[in-house]
Structure 1
Amino acid sequence: MLFAKRLETLSTNVFAVMDRAKAQARANGKEIIDLSLGSSDLPPSRHVIAAIEQSLQDSKTYGYLLYHGTQAFRVAVAQWYSNRFGIPVDPETEVLSLIGSQEGTAHLPLALLNPGDFALLLDPGYPSHYGGVYLAGGQMYPMPLAAENDFLPVFEDIPSPVLAQARMMVLSYPHNPTTATAPLTFFEKAVAFCRKHQIVLVHDFPYCDIYFQETAPPPSILQADTTKEISIEFFTFSKSYNMGGFRIGFAIGNAEIIKALQQIKTVVDFNQYLGILNGAIAALQGTQEPVIQTVATFKKRRDAFIEALHSIGWQVPTPKATMYVWAKLPPPWTDKSVEFCTQLALATGVAVSPGSGFGKSGEGYVRFALVQEPEVLKIAVEKIASFL
């Protein structure tokens, strides 16, 4: 049987390798401590679940949900955003509901790129950003992120021939996997750069709430592009509201870009069940105390994990945001992140993500997801110490 050649690039990746390593370790009797996936282990708030439960009793919610059926959700999103960032948003033209923000980031290249056009992507960066460009037939120009530049891209290093064919730039701060944050001045520079070169500026913003007291609240890209001239921003309920499995997110931004993404979405899917949108409305409009508690939980885990790593001599910086720790590998593993992670899983049952899975510039690092309680994280570090 013959399949499309585009599947060849998608057939293997380091996360599939890690999945096999976890399965083999489990088969060998190892108890798995999985710190490899950024899937929150915390539950959604009770008032969110109650809104979904109430929807289940209403037979009017059972049918297909088309665009106009999402109006109440879009209005709630626009009000939340305006209250949060002080920028007015038109819910009719500048908001689009999504089946998770990954749907939007993966499908947007289909609306922006012709075959051969360049997308400027963070390296390391979130894998779906690369996958969407590949499926759209675009070329990828990785913008290397280095510790000496605070894991921010250097726009001046992008070659002129690439800029001449570039149609979109994707940023994402607070950043997965490096945990870096970016000030508003950086976004203002990015907006000016993209405006000069006529590039659509895309900001993936899943960790807008997951920041700690050591840093200022992360800015929205639209605070740098207040007229929404060239920008679109993606949000998710997976991190702030622990609703990853519900697959609910949204995009806000330039009306023409939103309309173009909506055209792609119309071909691919309808929307998710209306009850999920009702739960998301409850999350946005209800008390935000659960978000505060979620951040406090991740801060407690971060502090315990960093202290444990330091106690075994693995010096890593303390992240100011996200639910991860980005750690430079010690010798002799400094350029063997996949081998380190697979061998660690097989030997100890502790699973982490290799930095090379996020891009070439991620080699030499590993990412730990803080999705276990502090006691379990300390046990994981003990196992890592024995492996090292």
Structure 2
Amino acid sequence: MSDAEFHRIKRLPPYVFAEVNAMKARARAAGEDIIDLGMGNPDQPTPPHIVAKLVEAVQNPKTHRYSQSRGIPGLRKAISAYYKRRFDVDIDPETEAIVTIGSKEGLANLAQAITSPGDVILVPNPSYPIHPFGFMLAGAALRHIPVGDGLDGFVPALERAIRHSVPKPTALIVSFPANPTGQTVTLDFYRPIVDLCLKHGIYILSDIAYAEIYFNGNPPPSVLQIPEARPITVEFNSLSKTYNMPGWRVGFGVGSKKLIGALAKFKSYVDYGAFTPIQVAATAALNGPQDCVAEIREMYRQRRDVLIEGLAQAGWKVPSPNASMFVWAEIPEPFRELGSLEFAKLLLQEAQVAVSPGIGFGEYGDGHVRFGLVENTQRIRQACRNIRLFLERARRQNGPVKADRTS
């Protein structure tokens, strides 16, 4: 049987990372030292005090029972305290906060909860894949808003999308700091967006998973800092990057009572929530000392600087992002004609460096590749040396060659 007969599955495009991942696996099996800057998978351990709290909690057999799909009360209170401390926004832990099994699950299940077949969803492009595909799986039609060349045209593009969409859009997704581009915004960026969405009855779904990974001294804002946004907005966050907890799968959503209530009802039918000891440890992360967050932020800043400098020395000028754990790099000339997938494969084959092809984040990302800052600075320097040698060879050969698909 083919998965083509399943309606929702066949709506998904081919997984463009698969070819790069297969090449990477073959190269490693052949003994090659591949420097993997592809997946945004933090490489450092979770801070010890969070692990200790998990161990303590798991030794209590009462925590081994079913948890709560909405999240344990202590964690919801910690989420509310975080929002007050960080954004000066008051969140009711009973009605305006929900614990999710990572922000990805929250977005996907909210899409299922609020979407009817044929609803129009406005999605930035390029963007993190769950943003469009969570709604596509729920039966929505997607309307893409280009963000690859900057954000100056975002509001005019949003106005056009609303004007020309039939039926009227149900929801708009925003995500800043952005994955994959690393773009950041100020609170003023959100104000006309909130006004437009209020005027046209459009929900705002915000993803701020990288809100604590910033480098220029200006903490990224929350759209909920605009009071008028609260009735129409849910904002998702995750502990994965902030506390080096990707495998723990714990995140949260806050905002609109109506939307949080819809998500809570949906989740009550499909899951029992994250394992209680994980939620207890997540509570300790949010309520405990935050020195570890500053240390993680500084680690990514150092890695970013090493990568940007190393690429520049290789002749590849790339802008330095103000936030996130990614560097979004325009494919250098004369390789742009290859497209991002072919170039990523070539980089893997010729420089032993794995990156994510931009096309995997939407059609407007095809002129770029994404570097994840998930190796230490020594390995990043080695990656840059490999890339420099590869680019020098290409210049001597007067242009690129295509990757060998069998390598």
TM-score > 0.5 by shorter chain: yes
Task: Tell whether 2:194 aligns with 1:196.
Answer: no
Aligned to 2:355: 352
Identity of aligned residues (%): 39
Please list, as runs of the form range in 1=range in 2, the aligned pairs for 1:190-229 lying within 5 A after superposition: 190-212=193-215, 214-225=216-227, 228-229=230-231
Q: Secondary structure at the match of 1:149?
A: coil
Residue 117 (structure 2) pairs with residue 99 (structure 1) = no
Does 1:8 pair with 2:10? yes
Counterpart of 2:387? 384
Identify the residue that residue 260 of structure 1 maps to in structure 2.
262
Q: Is the 8 A contact 1:188 1:225 kept in 2?
A: no
1:61 to 48, 60, 63: 63
Instruction: Classify 1:386/1:72 alpha carbon distance in 2 versus 1 (closer, same or farther; 3 Å).
Output: same
Q: Flag the 1:62–1:136 CA change in 2: closer, same or farther, 3 A.
A: same
**Residue 325 of structure 2 corresponds to residue 323 of structure 1:** yes
State the Cα RMSD in Å: 1.7
What one-letter code is carried by the residue in structure 1 that aligns with 2:173?
A: V
Provide the rounded CA distance (Å) in 1 between the counterparts of 2:121 and 2:28. 39
The aligned amino acid for 1:18 is V
Assess, with a 3 A threshold, how the Cα gap between structure 1 residues 152 and 29 changes in structure 2: closer, same or farther: farther
CA distance 1:145–1:80, shift in 2 (3 Å) = same
Aligned to 2:394: none
Mapped to 2, the partners of 1:265 and 1:102 lie a distance apart of 13
Q: In the alignment, which of 125, 129, 132 is matched to residue 131 of structure 2?
A: 129
**Of 51, 69, 79, the match for 1:77:** 79
Superposition map of 1:157-196 within 5 A: 157-158=160-161, 160-162=163-165, 164-196=167-199
Offset of 1:16 from its aligned partner?
1.6
The 5-angstrom pairing of residues 41-56 of structure 1 reads 41-56=43-58
Shift of 1:80: 1.6
Aligned pair in 2 of structure 1 residues 69, 144: CA closer, same or farther (>3 Å)? closer
Kept in 2, the 8 Å contact 1:169–1:201? The answer is yes
Q: Give the structure-2-normalised TM-score.
A: 0.91
- Alignment pair present for 1:338 and 2:341: yes
- Residue type of the alignment partner of 1:127: P
- Judged with a 3 Å threshold, the aligned counterparts in structure 2 of structure 1 residues 172 and 227 are, in CA distance, closer, same or farther, namely closer
**Secondary structure of 1:189's aligned partner:** helix
Equivalent position amino acid for 1:200 in 2: Y
1:296 to 295, 298, 316: 298
Alpha-carbon displacement from aligned partner over 1:36-87 (angstroms, at most 9, x marks no partner): 0111111111110111000111000001112476111111111121121111
Residue 268 to residue 293, structure 1, CA distance change in 2 (3 Å): same
Residues 315 and 172 (structure 1 numbering): CA distance in 2 closer, same or farther, change over 3 Å? Answer: same
The TM-score normalised by the length of structure 1 is: 0.96
Secondary structure, aligned partner of 2:117: coil
Aligned residues: 387
Amino acid at match of 2:142: M
Task: Indicate how the Cα distance of structure 1 residues 68 and 144 shifts in structure 2: closer, same or farther if over 3 A, else same.
Answer: closer
> Which piece of structure 1 moves more, 94-103 or 217-226?
217-226
Amino acid of the structure 2 residue aligned with 1:241: Y
Structure 1 ranges of 4+ moved more than 3 A: 148-154
Aligned partner (choices 9, 20, 23) of residue 21 of structure 1 = 23
* Residue segments in structure 1 that go unaligned for 5+ positions in a row: none
Rate the CA distance shift 1:151–1:296 in 2: closer, same or farther, 3 A: farther
Q: What are the superposed Cα offsets for residues 87-127 of structure 1, whole Å, 9 maximum, x if unpaired?
A: 11110000000000000111211122211111100100000
Q: Which moved more, 1:312-321 or 1:339-348?
A: 339-348
Cα distance in 1, alignment partners of residues 114 and 203 from structure 2: 8
Give the letter for the 2:111 counterpart.
P
Alignment check: 8 A CA contact 2:71 2:273 kept: no
Aligned to 1:285: 287
Which amino acid in the other structure matches residue 295 of structure 1?
Answer: R
- Assess, with a 3 A threshold, how the Cα gap between structure 1 residues 164 and 224 changes in structure 2: closer, same or farther: farther
- Cα gap change, 1:128 to 1:82, in 2 (>3 Å): same
> Which amino acid in structure 2 is aligned with residue 262 of structure 1?
A
CA–CA distance in 1 between the matches of 2:327 and 2:68? 40
Task: Note if contact 1:225-1:231 (Cα within 8 Å) is conserved in structure 2.
Answer: no
Residue segments in structure 2 that go unaligned for 5+ positions in a row: 392-407
